[in-house]
Amino acid sequence: MKDRILVLNPDNNSYAPMLRDFGEVTLDYTAFVLNPKDFKLVQFTGGEDVSPELYGDTSPKNYCTVSKKRDELDKKIFNVAMKSNIPMAGICRGMQFLNVMCGGKLIHHMDGHVSNQHIVNTSCKTFDSFMTNSLHHQMCIPPADGHILAWSLEKQSSKYIGNKDEEINWHGPEVEAILIPWYKVFGVQWHPEFMVSSAKAYIYYKTLLNNFLKMNMKEFKTKYVSADSINIKEING
């Protein structure tokens, strides 16, 4: 019976207390590569920016601070998980990486989100809105088949930097959580592992993860993607 969870950050086990209710947590990615069917989830975590090369962009002004080593490891694990049909979840960089691997892009830089708590809305009526922490300077542009599960109630950024590190006009919301059904992927931009267990944003993530693992995708979408949720295809043109 597969009951293990891989936390994909070999230098940081701060995620384990939040995840241990779901199974045996390990940082041993080699064990995952050798026996992926022993695992029920891969949790991608925070860290450096995702290389813009992975989504067809360039960053000549070095707005993106990347780690090729981290990108290579995450790609290796992503490919094994895909081949073995293992669900994947992301936090902060982890969400951004999964978004890119599923065909999305990233805003290279935005202001107003580093060390700034703010309110997010969700497309799930059970949770509606809550306060989150915010420790990022980039943002997901989900692929056309993705769903925005949560977004900033009020825009925090005054400018958005895109491909070639040039300022762009962004008419969509500031994305805080996504679902990409065909890849069995979801993620959140904030860091629930840094929060107290009574925080609504922490409870939202654990509830989301619990249902993600237990429900089929149709049931999950019915619960977490509302009929009036933001249309990615319209944002992407």
In this predicted model, which residue has the larger pLDDT, 188 or 158?
188
What are the tokens at 10?
């070999």
Phi, psi angles (nearest 5°) of residue 4: -100, 150
pLDDT at 232 over 60: no
Phi, psi angles (nearest 5°) of residue 160: -135, 125
Euclidean distance between the first and the last CA atom of the chain, given in angstroms as a whole number: 44
Cα R_g (the chain), whole angstroms = 17
Look up tokens 């019976």; give the residue.
1
Q: For residue 130, how many other CB atoms are within 10 A of its CB?
A: 18
Write down the pLDDT at residue 227: 56
- DSSP, collapsed to helix, strand or coil, labels residue 215 as coil
pLDDT at 72 over 90: yes
213-51-57 Cα angle (round to 5): 110
Average pLDDT over residues 113-130: 89
Strands 4-8 and 24-26, sheet pairing: parallel
Write down the pLDDT at residue 13: 77
Q: What is the pTM of this model?
A: 0.94
What are the tokens at 112?
């107003």
What is the chain's mean pLDDT, rounded? 92
pLDDT-derived band at 170 (thresholds 50, 70, 90) equals very high
pLDDT at 233 over 70: no
With 0-12 / 13-18 / 19 or more C-beta atoms within 10 angstroms meaning exposed / middle / buried, residue 2 is: middle
Write down the pLDDT at residue 126: 85
Look up tokens 């890119």; give the residue.
100
Q: pLDDT tens for residues 4-52?
A: 999 998 677 789 999 999 999 999 999 999 999 999 999 999 999 999 9
CATH for 4-236, among 3.40.50.2000, 3.40.50.880, 3.40.50.10490, 3.40.50.300? 3.40.50.880
Write down the pLDDT at residue 237: 44
110 HSE (CA, 13 A, CB side): 24
pLDDT-derived band at 91 (thresholds 50, 70, 90) equals very high
With 0-12 / 13-18 / 19 or more C-beta atoms within 10 angstroms meaning exposed / middle / buried, residue 163 is: middle
Q: pLDDT tens for residues 131-157?
A: 999 999 999 999 999 999 999 998 989
pLDDT at 229 over 60: no
The length of the chain is: 237
Buried (b) or exposed (e) across 110-119, using 16+ Cβ within 10 A?
Answer: bebbeeeebe
